[in-house]
Amino acid sequence: MSEAVDRISSPYEKASALLDIIPLAMECSDDKTPAILLKKAEGLTRKINIPQIADTIRDNIARMFVALYHKYNKETYLQAAIDITKVIDNVEIRRRRLNQMGYKDTHEILSPYEKIRGLFEKIIENGAHTGQIAALEKMVRSVSDRGKEAVIFSDLSVLARKEGKEKLANRMLQSAIKEAGIIRPLSHRAFVMCDIAMKTHAFGNEKASQEVLDLAIDAATNIRQSSLRDEVFEELGLAIKLMQGIYR
């Protein structure tokens, strides 16, 4: 089965197939084979360029490492779960998994995101005042990586929508789109736009998600190098299938 998986070209499909056969490997062999397959799946996540997709795989890998830890009582498997969880870009997914493992990431306390999140929660609780929103946006734009700025704005948009703050959510989403719209190279812009679209779609805002996805497709279309353009479109196609529920 593992040899058959090796013939799959898509990193996502290959990693997903490995995760499908690992439970069987846990039943039919010792702990070495599942651990090897999990490490192989972990390596494949580095070839997936859309963070939301890679993070979903990483979260599942961490969950299976925890299952190995409980079955064989080996601390190395728990540490492996913690290590891959720390690599997850999506803060909410990372926090949830770390909390489930009883791990407190002290680095998170001092991170720029935590300061941004703290101010954002005050805005949600006390009302959105113009000065506070301007300060929030300034904090986000102080992040050195423009792609991360866009993703943080996107995450804040989702959080605001969860709290029923539609106006604030729309403003954060527009800020995310604005930041992503000037990212270079175009391949990176397409991937960030697609990540924003997937997060927006996951919360049920399909119209906005489609608009952002169209921007991702526009960016990909303008890539001059044909081989790179094809690679980007392949990943965008995967994201579309995931949003449509064709893949799990």
Q: Residues 6-20: pLDDT tens digits?
A: 898 899 999 999 999
Place of tokens 């926090």: 95
d(CA 122, CA 77): 38
Work out whether the CA dihedral 90, 181, 12, 43 comes out positive or negative.
negative
Helices (H), ranges, the chain: 2-6, 11-28, 32-45, 51-72, 75-87, 91-100, 106-110, 112-126, 130-141, 146-162, 166-180, 186-202, 206-221, 226-244
**CA–CA distance from 39 to each of 7, 62, 179, 234, 243 (Å)?**
17, 11, 34, 24, 27
Task: Round to whole Å and give the CA distance between 60 and 44.
Answer: 13
Convert the pLDDT of each residue in 72-127 to its tens digit.
999 999 999 999 999 998 888 888 899 888 887 555 544 677 788 888 888 888 77
Of 136, 112, 138, 104, the closest CA to residue 123 belongs to 136
pLDDT for position 218? 97
Average pLDDT over every residue of 239-244: 90
Residue 200 and residue 158 in contact, taking contact as beta carbons nearer than 8 Å? yes
Q: Which residue type, as a one-letter code, is found at position 52?
A: Q
pLDDT digits (tens, 9 = 90+) for 134-183: 888 999 998 878 898 999 999 899 888 888 888 899 999 999 999 999 99
Q: Is the pLDDT of residue 189 over 80?
A: yes
- CA dihedral (96, 145, 108, 195) in degrees, to 10, reads 0
Q: What is the pTM of this model?
A: 0.85
